Structure 1
């Protein structure tokens, strides 16, 4: 295990005599700096130390997220420093890492259940954000037929991580108009909340962005200030953004993975409605669809099936492993077999596992044989909205470049 100089200094201080004052000073220092502890190592790497203060006896403490890969929970246990209330674990991490994480005292150390299942929801309820972290992050709860409460995380970004310079509201930047409404679909036989944003900078025939999983972007992240800033700075043209919600976990898992009906809802119901309301373009070269995870899968599927509507695709951490029941994995890869005038941007996190990266690379290579342009990008992070928001401005700039 990598060694934190600050923890080693604490170990030596504790060995030198009475511990109460030593520990009090240590925790006071941590409260001032925040957690995790970040220390230099070399030009490319940093030491990142996660901490837990034991206020009542615990048998184990695990960190889940960031460099502590969630599918390797038994390997991510913190160690208790002898004679103290300090639990710690140090990782050697590349200096461009961005992450979210939780701590799990008295963790069962069992593998996590599939997302959205009752077992996963119950397990997540035992996770806690880092009490001394200064960058909290909350994912909104899921409603409908699969109910789960909001999930609270802690985050950090090392000094070379992709900056999130565009996210905070800026003085003097006019805010776009935001409408929240409900739209019904005859194709799908359901209805959903939708957010429609129009940039304050106006122009004829504004460009059009469809951003899937709208509730995540609206409730958890500052997507609208980000778009305001990008358009105001000239990084994006006058723009209309349509953000449809995914209803609930079950509906999302049914509609986003390569679903012809959902694609029909987008092309035949949603976009005509948005264009009539806003005057947004019908030019596929200026119509972009973007999504993350299942939404990334849905976005690439839309570009393959309807290049006459979507001329540019952004897929962030796409779930390209997906296939219909009974079929071989990577169904979408087998659909790439024809020329099409579409541009694709596919990104994936270095912390997403040994399957996500090669799957994304294989799809990018296949698309490169047929599409107008393919961009493959890697970022140092996980399957994480915080990372996707950091990468999105660069990808939107690419998508809407003149």
Structure 2
């Protein structure tokens, strides 16, 4: 696979940043924030641009007849009228006073479908560059670098995003980038310097114990959906998530799994529990309060009592091998993990009551597992699944790969194999498009798989959200998938 594709598969786990930066062996270099992929994608080995007044917004025109933002004066190169107001040295103080009062980023109307968003950083005399670090992959040419407004301390990046966007982002000021710098060195530099937007009071952390490294800022545009669930009132039950070790003879390794029993586990139930098998379990344990989610959805009557097993990756290097449609990993899940679970917990033995779920590579692995073993897994939740993956192009030694091979191995399997008795929930972000250097992206290949599944007669539920490769979006999509696939 191309380097950009390899990077795009990383799960977003800011809590892993500290060990990665420090070089600790406990850090998982394959489970790096998905924001790294977007940051590395644009000129991974280029030097930061010098500050200029040239607009860095991607090309695009406003919808005809829709309400549009007033144009900035001709010759300024600025799309944002509000930024134009602070473009002169005499107006800078008033500009920053308004930002201190109203916050950032700047959000302005553009047309019926999009809004104009300008990210801001207040520089100093020594600021050399500022990089936007986020989970977005835009079609066409886009740069992660902010531009300095000449004669001011204003650094900015203006872009066009769909209404309803909800995503997280960070900034990396004074990033050391040099020609010929290795990808690993660049990644470490980005992770070491990433921080939330000091001008934006809305923040989110997927791991409170991670401190600053786990904190990102939140951008929400008009029409962003409200959270689909809320934690139940009262204290969180003690011991709701219990870690255990599971050894696999098939994979010849041992890994952690976290067991989440239903909130009413102490009561006698008329039927066995449904089961959620969630891949990248260590990441989801940090990013999502799975016990609270399952308890809230069950209490509202939206799902039947469901037990979850969060399956962690075995080692820092196993993820890229095991989660790329690896049949040995599927055998581990179906023939070793499921019997281990059923020997200890009253979960249903029926495949229709088992959901296998994951995001990014995890979504790919979940889909592959259900297609290969429909006797074990009757439901799939794929969140931003890496369906661009194809073994001929993206697996094996680099010299043996075929860069012209067709993408989307899962769609090819659906076409070639008999119909499976499996239900699918596929979600992808509008800001997960392909780029000119790598062809089809997550959004396009998810749409392709959706269409192929439906043509083959599968029950395929598809959702698209205004966001990127981002746990902030996946939290609600996971809940929505559980509800959509619940039979009661």
CA contact (8 A) 2:87 2:152 kept: no
1:64 Cα deviation after fit? 3.3
Residues 385 and 174 of structure 1: is their aligned pair in 2 closer, same or farther, counting only changes over 3 Å? closer
Q: Is 1:309 the equivalent of 2:356? A: no
Please provide the CA RMSD for this pair.
3.0
Kindly indicate whether residue 182 of structure 2 is the aligned counterpart of residue 104 of structure 1: no
- Does residue 1:65 correspond to 2:105, yes or no? no
Q: 1:379/1:109 Cα in 2 relative to 1: closer, same or farther (>3 Å)? A: farther
Whole-angstrom distance in 2 between the partners of 1:270 and 1:195: 12
Partner Cα distance (2:274, 2:235) in 1? 19
Cα 1:229–1:159, aligned 2, differ >3 Å: closer, same or farther? farther
Give 3-state SS (helix, strand or coil) of 2:276's partner.
Answer: strand
Residue from 198, 204, 223 that aligns with 1:131? 198
Unaligned runs of 5+ in 1: 141-148
Give per-residue Cα distances to partners, 1:60-104, cap 9 Å, x unaligned. Answer: 32323266749956x343232343222122223222112222223
TM norm structure 1: 0.85
Cα offsets for 1:205-260 (capped at 9, x unmatched): 01111111111111123332222211111111111011011134411111111112
Greater relative contact order: 1 or 2 (C-alpha under 8 angstroms, separation 6 or more)? Answer: 2
Structure 2 residue ranges without an equivalent (≥5): 1-54, 56-77, 435-439
CA contact (8 A) 1:66 1:98 kept: no
Answer whether contact 2:228 2:479 (CA < 8 A) is retained: no
Q: How far 1:26 moved relative to its partner?
A: 4.1
Q: TM-score, normalised by structure 2?
A: 0.71
Do residues 90 (structure 1) and 158 (structure 2) align?
A: yes
1:353-392 aligned within 5 A: 353-354=433-434, 355-356=440-441, 357-392=443-478
**Higher strand content, 1 or 2:** 1
Higher mean C-alpha deviation, range 175-184 or range 378-387: 175-184
Shift of 1:382: 1.1
Q: Separation in 2 of the partners of 1:48 and 1:316? A: 26
Worse overlay, 102-111 or 76-85 = 102-111
Match of 1:144 in 2: none
Which of 79, 82, 85 aligns to 1:6? It is: 82
Distance 2:155 2:190 in 1: 21
Could you say if the C-alpha distance between residues 341 and 277 of structure 1 is closer, same or farther in structure 2, counting changes exceeding 3 Å?
A: same
Quick check: 1:331 aligned with 2:409?
yes
The answer to whether 1:185 aligns with 2:248 is yes
Q: 114, 119, 126: which one pairs with 1:45? A: 114
